[in-house]
A and B are shown apart, each in its own frame.
Chain A
């Protein structure tokens, strides 16, 4: 059976290649920092289950140290110039989109076929992970297609990949760090404290104000934790279940479903949700790291208020 570990191995080999190419890149002023950083990522993906919890902890400290003290930086691997690219674009025309569509198409049709035909009964893939596995398959197919068609230099996919990952830099690892921070927060009981404080500000007897605090609490706690998954159990335990469902007799499905979506509005407004907000800013090479968040606030705030009203109308 193909499991997630296969994908970790694929990604790990890619990061190992980035590390090696960095180490041998004489034009790069921080080449050993980059080599160490991507090397640690490779180690995590290839052998994370073998080096023990403390070993993984030291690995994370290493990543944070390398990134935090400015030991990694952008690189300039060999690639084509703007003029060459324009030339290729004119020459190849819209056929250039075909290899780009291989990845989403493989993931899409693969997932559909696997779930809605007897193919899924064969048990080839780890359960619930088939989309990721098809994503990996799509990547390999796309690279094969590009090599067959355009014959780039052998190292080109790895050098181009390194160009992009170095442009993203430590932001590529931050989402995983924040997820780990969330686990520590939970272990330390941050959720209970926040839940208790939220309950303290609710006035007695007003359904609307209780819904308001529930929705705002979901959004705010999501902003602090970086994802609504961490906020939901806390807010459900503090307000959702005892007050809204048991106290005022609200519909549990509405409160649960729309409460979670109120949290998603918070996700749009926080740098803690790094993979949605900071990573794309790095990926699109924005000057303002918070540019994506600023573009989202105008949608998030009215939608948060709409969610609060929806809970109030639909649940009671």
Chain B
């Protein structure tokens, strides 16, 4: 066994840690790994290029950008926020729990590519979550807004990952089936999909509970600005003071 091939992994880890440009890091790791494995330079470049070409399907999703951009031009994000402001009981947590459920259920019936970060999170889910957070919390400082946006994206991922495997005709189920079949275990895809259900339920419970905690944090944090700044304070200086204090506050609530 050639342990030197692990240098590629080391390059990736070090490159990410040093915050070098990931495109360069990945290319360097690929070339070094290929050379260590005994390929000649032309072979390395060709293997890398072929694999890139074989994975072009990943780039397809960007065709939605012109539509999303057009709708933003006509105020879609503002509209999404306005709808949430009009709902009395909307909170960030409840909204994201609803989206989590929607994402899990649609992914479980094979419709995983109908939603996603460009299609639904940026134009709809994130602005709605931000508007709900503003209702709960008052005006959002930057770290809080960042956190709400990050949770919106995270909720999409959790819903997708722990919904899609319930659908038996998805790539990962096929891969499990094929891999185990080479060892003589012939399993029906449906049998594998069934065992994805317990984890799907647990994922909903765990992530849902964290979204409710997020709600609570947004609600308790909102008391401070009203006490100090008054409800309608909009002076920039005051906002900035509030910001810096909140930044400290917010990191306290972070996970270890």
Contacts and interface: CB of A to CB of B under 8 A. Distances in A.
Interface residues of B, number: 120
A198 interface: no
Contacts of B216: none
Nearest to B22: A174
B66 A157 contact: yes
Contacts of A2: none
B153 A281 contact: yes
Interface stretch (B108-116, B132-140, B236-244): B108-116
A135 interface: yes
Contacts of A258: 195-196, 198-199
B69 to A, nearest CB: 3
Contact of A63 (B1, B23, B196): B23
A291 B60 contact: no
Contacts of B142: 287
A172 B173 CA distance: 27
Contact of A260 (B34, B44, B60, B165): B165
Contacts of A100: 67, 71, 76, 123-124
A156 interface: yes
Contacts of B29: 181
Contacts of B66: 14, 139, 143, 157-158, 160-161
Given A136-B63, A268-B161, 15 more contacts: A57-B52, A85-B72, A85-B78, A111-B114, A136-B60, A139-B64, A139-B67, A156-B73, A176-B55, A177-B52, A256-B176, A268-B158, A295-B154, A299-B203, A310-B202
Contact of A183 (B51, B126, B180, B199): B51
Contacts of B152: 284
B48 interface: yes
Contact of B48 (A136, A180, A232, A283): A180
Given A60-B52, A89-B75, A271 B22 contact: yes
Of B70, B113, B126, most buried by chain A (CB within 10 Å of CB) is B70
A59 B48 CA distance: 10
B33 A92 contact: no
Q: Interface majority SS on B: helix, strand, loop or mixed?
A: helix
B58 interface: yes
Interface in A1-60: 4, 7-8, 10-11, 14-15, 41, 44-45, 48-49, 52-60
B46 interface: yes
Contacts of A306: 199, 202, 206
B162 A48 contact: no
Interface in B159-213: 161-162, 165, 169, 171-173, 175-177, 179-180, 183, 185, 187, 191-196, 198-199, 202-203, 206-207, 210
List 3 tightest A-B contacts by C-beta distance, closest first: A160-B69, A57-B49, A56-B49
Contacts of B117: 279-280, 283-284
B60 A8 contact: yes
B90 interface: no
A280 B121 contact: yes
Interface in A172-208: 172-185, 187-190, 192-194, 196
Given A56-B53, A63-B23, A92 B47 contact: no
B33 A190 contact: yes
A184 B21 contact: no
B11 to A, nearest CB: 10
B120 interface: yes
Q: Interface majority SS on A: helix, strand, loop or mixed?
A: helix
Interface of A: 4, 7-8, 10-11, 14-15, 41, 44-45, 48-49, 52-61, 63-64, 67-68, 70, 79-80, 84-90, 92-94, 96-97, 99-100, 103-104, 107-108, 111, 115, 128, 131-132, 135-136, 139, 142-143, 146, 150, 152, 156-161, 163-165, 170, 172-185, 187-190, 192-194, 196, 224, 228-229, 232-233, 236, 241, 245, 252-254, 256-261, 264, 267-268, 271-272, 274-281, 283-284, 286-288, 291-292, 294-299, 302-303, 306-307, 310, 314
A164 B65 contact: yes
A61 B65 CA distance: 25
B56 A8 contact: yes
19 contacts: A44-B59, A53-B53, A61-B45, A67-B23, A87-B75, A92-B75, A143-B66, A146-B71, A160-B69, A161-B65, A165-B62, A165-B65, A170-B21, A177-B26, A184-B51, A194-B6, A276-B157, A286-B146, A295-B154
Given A60-B27, A283-B117, A193 B1 contact: yes
A80 B69 CA distance: 11
Contacts of A44: 52-53, 56, 59
Contact of B185 (A93, A115, A252, A279): A252
A241 B179 CA distance: 10
A207 B119 CA distance: 44
Given A103-B64, A176-B58, A303-B206, A291 B192 contact: no
